[in-house]
Chains A and B, each alone.
Chain A
Amino acid sequence: MLPEQDQEVDLENGLKHLAEQVAREHERAAHREQIIDRLHAENQDLRRGLLQEALTPVRSGLYRLYDTVTREATRRSAHDGDPVVPLLEAIAEEVAEVLARTGAERLEVAPGDEYDPALHRPVGTGPGEDGRVAAVVSDGFRLADQDRVLRKAGVVIGKAPDSAQDGAQDSEGNI
């Protein structure tokens, strides 16, 4: 092989190597661009999410206050004409108002509703129609503009007296 040819081959190899390296760098740069795009989009979401996140401790404090006042009002309403009851109920309503202003609205849950694990957190079972809400123990809240449940309503689920057991007793009686 002549020296000139040798040089040419070297040059060619060098160029090929360089082209490969440039292609790789290019690929990585394109990749970075994509990531920046995504980070940017995520950052936007995060800002919105952060606002919600910042409200979480405030809301949990308000839930606690709301629960406490509501429970006390319910307990006192057992005695007729307790003048404190309307006052406590008013305070609970005010707290619910403040919560609504943070975006947390009360879930409409009432006895007789069909049990829905997305809205209800069962706290126990009690006499009532099978598979339906027998009593609401604590209210639930949802984030209105995202249609997301923030806190499920605490409910007692109705459970008819065990029919299978009844059947067994019946047949035993027949024998």
Chain B
Amino acid sequence: MAVHGIDLGTTYSCIASVDDVSRPTVHRNQEDTDTTPSVVFFETPENVVVGQTAKDSAVIEPDLVVSRIKRDMGHEVTRTMHGRPYTPEEISAFVLRKLAADAKTATGVTVDDVVITVPAYFGAAERDATRKAGRIAGLNVIDIISEPIAAAITYGVLNPGQDARILVYDLGGGTFDTTVIALSGGDIEVVCTDGDHELGGADWDDRLVEHLAERFRQEHPDVPDPLDDKQTEQQLRRDAEELKKTLSTRTRHVLRVMHEGRVAKVEIGREEFEALTRDLLDRTIEITRKTLNTARGKGVDGFDHLVLVGGSAKMPAVTEALTKELGVTPRLQDPDLAVAKGAALYAFEETYRRLLSSGDRTDQSRAEEMAARAGLSDGQRQEIAGRTIRTVASRAFGIKATASNTRREYVAHLVNANDALPADVTEGFATLDDFQTRVAIEVMEQAGAVASDVIEDNNKIAEGDLRIPPGKPAGYPIEVTFSLDASGLLHVTAKENETGERLELSVQIGGMSEEEVAESRAALSRVQVS
């Protein structure tokens, strides 16, 4: 039984699984690269192309190409292609199907059980949408975990029995995130998370391109701007990318910008490159400091490990600046694959634990088979079985209530941030007026960084009506139960005991219903994905 971990990224995605020497391995796609652009091209109604070719196709069919769909997860927006509206869940499902199909081609093993990662700031709606994307893709999503937690697993800094505070610095191609995680007594908690979703490695490239063009302009003011010529501009982009890589290993490099038969020789050193992009790096440091301050406010003073994630974290200036500013040497290993690998490790261990503890004889022998295939020794098996990584709620959840004396509307919290998951909480409420025939149940999720009972500081994520038997006076009791599972999915039940009338709500803010998911899974399975 193979379980996979998937890093479903904004610009790139990646799939990994635990191999037969119990190490996480990334599966290359058919184009022979570790990561696949999260770009979907609706070539025809029956054929969808995902990845680099889809990205290239944006030039010829921009209206049929969708990128950065992750930003729309959990929102009610659709894109119409060939006359059919597609939800963000469905578009993401195509990316997942491409990853799964290519992994199968590479290993011969069908991808079925998966763990998908999401940013730490994703709330219940976005997590739910991600899980549904997996279901539409025909996958069995065993869990949804936060990207910084996955990265910390890869770096081996989340060891139960060893409390730790971890700072995760994630600089990707187009986004920057920084998160503080605390592991205490086996509980993993995302203490706080911050970032800039318009800041990434691409900004560093832009600076280099502009610098090279400017040097050419200075030397040859009489010829047209090199950036006005599409071919020269593309060449400069490639040069900038190469230059960035070269300057990671060498300290100086000479580049010749050629345009309109003229040449400008540009010599650039690492220091100069760093000076050109200093403010970008400073912005990441500033956000990191802010995150640490927020963590301090929540009682997490300092950190034990600093781990780097994202391809752009490879720039030597990042390590240097963090070492200088924070006084800690960051850990850096395969930062662009760390999230997918961590998801694979988590998927493997979680499946093993679930099988082992199921109490079913066949499940237990499947667990043994899994361990044998990964070549685990008896000691390692015991270690994994005993390791329980529990997560906590990232935000507070409650229902809208009205104080009977002042008639002030507020949010009554049932689940608080940092409550251990899964959480099951039941609380009693009562009707406000005589002869009320229904009670509106409005489920609220904390919107800001701190929990607040002010309505405006919360988002309504679900609502429904509970019928009340006729002729009841004010104060008629009702019971509300919140159950929040470890991936942050919320089920709400409201009931009154006399007639047994119940109202059940699963959180899907602007999301798809279970029926829609099943329908779309069937409908889209006829679409070819390559």
Residues of chain A touching chain B, judged by Cβ–Cβ distance below 8 Å, are: 24, 27-28, 31-32, 34-35, 38, 60, 64, 67-68, 71-72, 75-76, 115, 117-118, 121-125, 137-138, 148, 152, 157, 159
Contact = CB atoms under 8 A, between A and B. Distances in A.
Kindly state the interface size class of chain B when it binds its partner. 20 to 34
Give the interface SS of chain B, mostly helix, strand, loop or mixed: helix
Q: Across the A-B interface, give the 8 residue pairs with the lowest CB-CB distance, nearest first.
A: A122-B59, A117-B53, A122-B60, A121-B56, A157-B60, A68-B258, A31-B375, A125-B60
Given A28-B375, A68-B258, 9 more contacts: A24-B378, A76-B261, A117-B49, A122-B57, A122-B60, A123-B230, A125-B59, A137-B231, A148-B32
Contact of B56 (A27, A117, A137): A117
B28 to A, nearest CB: 11
B372 A27 contact: yes
A72 B57 contact: no
Contacts of B260: 75
A72 B263 CA distance: 11
15 contacts: A31-B375, A32-B375, A35-B20, A35-B21, A35-B375, A64-B235, A75-B260, A75-B261, A117-B57, A122-B59, A123-B230, A124-B230, A125-B59, A152-B56, A159-B60
B377 interface: yes
A138 to B, nearest CB: 8
Nearest to B530: A117
Contacts of A60: 242
B437 interface: no
Interface string B44-74: 0000010001001101100000000000000
Interface in B8-63: 20-21, 32, 49, 53, 56-57, 59-60
Nearest to B245: A57
B234 interface: yes
A50 B373 CA distance: 29
B31 to A, nearest CB: 9
Contact of A28 (B231, B261, B377): B377
A68 B231 CA distance: 10
Given A31-B20, A35-B375, A124 B59 contact: yes
B350 to A, nearest CB: 23
A122 B56 contact: yes
A35 B25 CA distance: 15
B249 to A, nearest CB: 11
A56 B59 CA distance: 26
A35 B373 CA distance: 11
Given A76-B261, A117-B56, A67 B235 contact: yes
Contacts of A72: 258, 261
B372 A31 contact: yes
Contacts of B375: 28, 31-32, 35
Interface string B374-396: 01011000000000000000000
A76 B234 CA distance: 20
B378 to A, nearest CB: 8
A157 B56 CA distance: 12
Contacts of A34: 20
Nearest to B41: A117
B135 to A, nearest CB: 29
B26 to A, nearest CB: 15
A50 to B, nearest CB: 14
A76 B21 CA distance: 59
B52 to A, nearest CB: 9
Contacts of A122: 56-57, 59-60
Tell which of A24, A60, A64, A72 has the most Cβ of chain B within 10 Å.
A64
Nearest to A149: B31
Nearest to B62: A125
Contacts of A118: 53
B281 to A, nearest CB: 26
Nearest to A32: B375
A118 B231 CA distance: 21
Contacts of B239: 64
A72 B261 CA distance: 6
Contacts of A31: 20, 372-373, 375
Interface in B69-123: none
Contact of B231 (A32, A38, A71, A148): A71
Contacts of B242: 60
Contacts of A121: 56
Nearest to A39: B21
A152 B52 CA distance: 11
Tell which of A64, A67, A117, A159 has the most Cβ of chain B within 10 Å.
A117
B323 to A, nearest CB: 29
A133 B28 CA distance: 30
A43 to B, nearest CB: 14
Nearest to A76: B261
Interface in B206-240: 230-231, 234-235, 238-239
B56 to A, nearest CB: 5
Contacts of A35: 20-21, 375
B526 to A, nearest CB: 22
A35 B377 CA distance: 15
A75 to B, nearest CB: 6
Contacts of A71: 231
A27 B57 CA distance: 51
A60 B234 CA distance: 14
Contacts of B59: 122-125, 157
A5 to B, nearest CB: 31
Contacts of A115: 60
Nearest to B374: A31
A60 B238 CA distance: 10
A18 to B, nearest CB: 15
B373 to A, nearest CB: 8
A158 to B, nearest CB: 10
A52 to B, nearest CB: 11
A124 B229 CA distance: 13
Interface in B222-274: 230-231, 234-235, 238-239, 242, 258, 260-261
A118 to B, nearest CB: 8
Contacts of B378: 24
B242 to A, nearest CB: 7
A125 B62 CA distance: 11
